[in-house]
Structure 1
Amino acid sequence: MVPTASAEELVVGPLSIDSVVSGNRLPSHFTELKKALWKDELLQSWKEVLAELDAAVEKISTEGGAAIPRVSFAEMKAGLSEDQVKAIKAVGILVVTGGIPQEKYSFDVRLFCDLHRKLWDGSSRFKNMSPLIPPKSQVKFHKFLHLKSGAKITMAGFPADNIQIFEMYNSKGQVAARVHPAVIETQRFLLSLWHASDPNTQISLDNPICYFDRARIRHAGDTTFVLDPHIDNGSVERWEDPTYRQCYQEILDGGSAWRNHDFFDASPRLDAVQDMHDNSNQGSIFRAWQGWTSMSRTGPGEGTLRVLPMLAVAMPYIMLRPFFRLNAENNEWEVDLDNPDFPGSLLGGKQFLTPETHPHLRLDKTMVEIPTVDPGDQVYCASAFAYTSPWKG
């Protein structure tokens, strides 16, 4: 039986990357969890995964951003080859170019955000901009934001003293992008890469549903708003929750079974509990893909995303990592079942990846920036192996 935590054990330090690097330990029952999940066959899995990782690291360090599959909308619509689909699944990331014309919606959003920056004085999270906007222009903004005539024109954003995330969800431009036929068709294709191994799974993989998100515009030269490498959708829950754990069962079966792991099987994911420890920033829905549509031409060195383009081998490594530690005396990796460490995991947080917690990933070589994209290009990740790089300006 896999142990669970008592209420008094659920007290940990601050949920930050510093806590992860400094080795902030989980409650003691996680030691018993590791012992309950351990199989001697996992040692073979570990050795095989490390060998595959070496090859993947070499490939990505040589190719850089070219390791990320990139197809035109026209290619996707005509039908991708079996090898192309296999590459997308192995990498877990896709850039789709074209499809959405470089039309006015992107510039509408940028215009509003730029105006907001000029008017923002940092004195309040929500700024009433109505008195500062000429009456004739207010009519345009009411239509743009789908506001009733005469309503206050407000905007929130963060960081408060250097806004780059704009709390704008349903502007005219954003809605136009979400319902664009090319976006819907792209998302329908991406859903087709998933399947349900259980025919009774109550899910539709034919009808894209998009949840609303915000607008983001980076400042040139900014180095403050940077997200460290991480995976969304919980951390220790992947091992702790029995249903979530089923998503990775082949990996935990040991031996060479990890090679049969199917990341794109939706059946075990629907009832997986991604938040067992009150993460205030955790959604409850199953997200088949995360993505964004570019509003401008942007590329490496300009504040875009960095991603880890080796899903097929990185995920088995991450799932096996808690069972092993480096012996400082002989510099060899050995089985570790005597402490509650789940490297990079915090209760109520994301799954962090750092050179200290996951050294074999060689993040200095494998976290690569998304190649240059133009307005209307789309970027999708099957899992959020991503963080934002500083914009050198």
Structure 2
Amino acid sequence: MPLKIDDLPTAIRHAKRELRARLPNYRDVFAAVEADMNAQATHIAALRERGESVIPEIAFEDIAAQRVDAEHIALVKARGACVIRRVFDRKLAEQWDRDIADYVERNRLDAKLPHRAEDKYFGQLASSKPQIYGVYWSKPQVLARQSPALTQARVFLNRLWRAQSEGRVHFDPDRVPVYADRVRRRPPGSASLGLSAHCDGGSVERWIESNFRKVYRHVFSGHWRDYDPFDAAWRTDVEEIASPAVCSMFRTFQGWTALTRQGPGDGTLQLVPIANAMVYILLRALQDDVAEDDLCGAQPGRALSINPDYHAPLFRALSSIPTMDAGDTVFWHSDVIHAVEDAHRGTGYSNVMYIGALPSCAKNDAYLAKQRASFLEGKSPPDFPADDFEVDFEGRASADDLTALGRAQMGFDA
């Protein structure tokens, strides 16, 4: 159920008073958190400046053979992100890229883009033009989502979470529902901006909504070292403010699949690879230099912006992901700060399909029923602006393109 807040300034003032009353030493607690974040960010920056990778990398064949060692898993959980190499054959991914290009060109998508619904989700960010297109149902996207290999990779990621805690089972990690998302097609030398640093999956709700507070219970009680970003308790119960492009499903990881070779400088993804950075963000907003009706600039129904004026230590860790080949994937925890480089200085397209990792739970299963109707009609999924570009697109995927696994992931067999 979407969260509604009628008087946001009053709600913020009330939330701050309440949270500070529960944590009277909020200044001292934040000082300890800030020192920890400075140390983590400095370490990551030093690794990056030495030319070392700061995003863990895993070969898909190691996931398939169940031989990813404990050290790699611990690093993925500390950084909140990983690159999984060779999930798809490079030539297949490159063919998918050509097929998507043909799909959008044959159906004259560019002529429809000027008439698209206004999407204000990224509107508060200094950079907010990542060249993401409202295409969800091309055959390559549908085929990739239902792929057994990508499904196996996402089950691996789901299992990094604590699916059972606080006396409850939160989700089934082995069932992977589809969350239909868009594509990015970024030409070389493009003048458009990327995306400034932000988090998805909730903005002001994190301080105000009761289940979000339970997710971050250890943070708001001052026991922040006990906070586990991979504990799913109450995450499947949170209520978000409805807005186009706000994900109303629970994602264990956001992610994308590379359709072209791309690397740093090619307008690619950037991450702050600190899994518990949300601790800093949450407590920073309670400090005395932030106005009583402000949460460091957080706006309802928008991406949660990360601002150098408030969150400067985290920016030292902001790092571009390593070079990706077509068929590689990257995933980042749903609370991890991310951005997209402003400039694309490369020589080729920087193209991806957005496909995250999700588990089966009541929250996600409820969304599937609405999304399934959108798929059958070729409409934009419920979480996105209602452009409905694909309703008359030639070559759109249909139910006949779904495998048994694809049907289950779309909820047809529920």
**Map of 2:235 onto structure 1:** 269
- For residues 108 and 94 of structure 1, what CA distance do their matches in structure 2 show? 23
RMSD of aligned residue pairs (Cα, Å): 2.8
Give the whole-Å Cα distance in 2 for the aligned partners of 1:317 and 1:272: 20
Pair 1:351-2:307 in alignment: no
- Cα offset for 1:237? 0.3
Deviations 1:134-182 (A, max 9, x none): xxxxxxxxxxxxxxxxxxxxxx8999xx994333323232222222222
Shift of 1:49: 1.0
Relative to structure 1, the CA distance from residue 73 to residue 268 in structure 2 (aligned partners, 3 Å threshold; closer, same or farther) is same
Task: Name the structure 1 match of 2:91.
Answer: 103
Matched residue of 1:273: which SS?
Answer: coil
Residue in structure 2 matched with residue 172 of structure 1 by the alignment: 139
Is the 8 Å Cα contact of residues 243 and 269 (structure 1) preserved in structure 2? yes
Q: Which residue is equivalent to 1:52? A: 36
Shift of 1:268: 0.8
What aligned pairs does 1:198-347 form with structure 2 within 5 A after superposition? 198-254=166-222, 257-275=223-241, 278-312=242-276, 314-326=277-289, 339-347=292-300
Q: Structure 2: how far apart are the matches of 1:121 and 1:283? A: 24
Distance 2:57 2:321 in 1: 10
Listed one character per residue, the Cα deviations across residues 346-391 of structure 1 (whole Å, up to 9, x for unaligned) are 1222210011131232x1x321111001111110011252121121
Structure 2: tracts of 5 or more residues without a match: 120-128, 347-414
Report deviation, 1:216: 1.4
Give the Cα–Cα distance (whole angstroms) in 2 for the partners of residues 67 and 124 of structure 1: 40
Choose from 318, 323, 326 the match for 1:372: 323
Q: 1:62 aligns with which of 43, 46, 69?
A: 46
- Distance (whole Å) between structure 2 residues aligned to residue 356 and residue 99 of structure 1: 39
Q: Which moved more, 1:296-305 or 1:167-176?
A: 167-176
For the residue of structure 1 that corresponds to 2:270, the secondary structure is strand
Report the CA distance between 1:261 and its aligned residue.
0.3
Deviation at 1:30, TM superposition (A): 1.7
Paired with 2:109 and 2:133, the residues of 1 have a C-alpha distance of 15
Which residue does the alignment assign to 2:165? 197
Q: Deviations over 1:300-325 (max 9, x none)?
A: 0001111110122x111011001114
Distance (Å, rounded) in 2 between the aligned partners of 1:233 and 1:62: 30
> Structure 1 residues 198, 292: closer, same or farther in 2, change over 3 A?
same
Q: Provide closer, same or farther for how the CA distance between residues 274 and 119 of structure 1 changes in structure 2, counting only shifts above 3 A.
A: closer
Query: Cα distance 1:43–1:71, how it changes in 2: closer, same or farther (>3 A)?
Result: same
Identity %: 29
- Looking at structure 2, the residues matched to 6 and 296 of structure 1 have their Cα atoms a distance apart, in angstroms, of 42
Range 64-73 or range 116-125, more displaced: 116-125
Q: Secondary structure at the match of 1:53?
A: helix
Query: Alpha carbons of 1:171 and 1:58: their partners in 2 closer, same or farther (altered >3 Å)?
Result: same
Letter in 1 for 2:15: L
Q: Compared with structure 1, are the counterparts of its residues 122 and 183 closer, same or farther at alpha carbon in structure 2 (3 Å cutoff)?
A: closer
Moved over 6 A (4+): 156-159
| Alignment correspondent of 1:149 | none
Residues 229 and 352 of structure 1 are in contact (CA less than 8 Å); yes or no, is this contact kept in structure 2? Answer: yes
Are 1:113 and 2:77 an aligned pair? no
TM-score (norm 1): 0.75
Return the offset for 1:96: 0.5
Distance 2:200 2:4 in 1: 22
Alignment CA distance shift 1:6-1:81 (3 Å): closer
Q: Is the 8 A contact 1:49 1:316 kept in 2?
A: yes
Q: Could you tell me how far apart the structure 1 residues matched to 2:250 and 2:288 are?
A: 32
Question: CA separation of 1:304/1:157 partners in 2, compared to 1, >3 Å: closer, same or farther?
Answer: farther
Amino acid in structure 1 at the alignment position of 2:281: I
Report the structure number with the largest CA radius of gyration.
Answer: 1
Matched, 1:84 2:72: yes
Tell me the equivalent position of 2:362.
none
Partner of 1:333: none
The alpha carbon displacement at 1:189 in A equals 0.5
1:180-236 Cα offsets, whole Å, 9 max, x none, are: 222111101001011220343352112122211222111212232421111011211
Alpha-carbon spacing, 1:115–1:182, altered in 2? closer, same or farther (3 Å)? closer
Contact 1:157-1:164 within 8 A present in 2 as well:
no
- Whether the 8 Å contact between 2:270 and 2:320 is mirrored in structure 1 is yes
Using a 3 Å threshold, how does the CA distance of structure 1 residues 236 and 163 change in structure 2: closer, same or farther? Answer: closer
1:110-130 Cα distance to aligned partner (Å, 9 max, x none):
344267459859543499xxx
Distance in 1 (CA, whole Å) between partners of 2:117 and 2:325 is 25
How many aligned positions are there?
A: 326
CA distance in 1: counterparts of 2:77 and 2:284, whole angstroms: 22
CA distance in 2, matches of 1:40, 1:201: 33
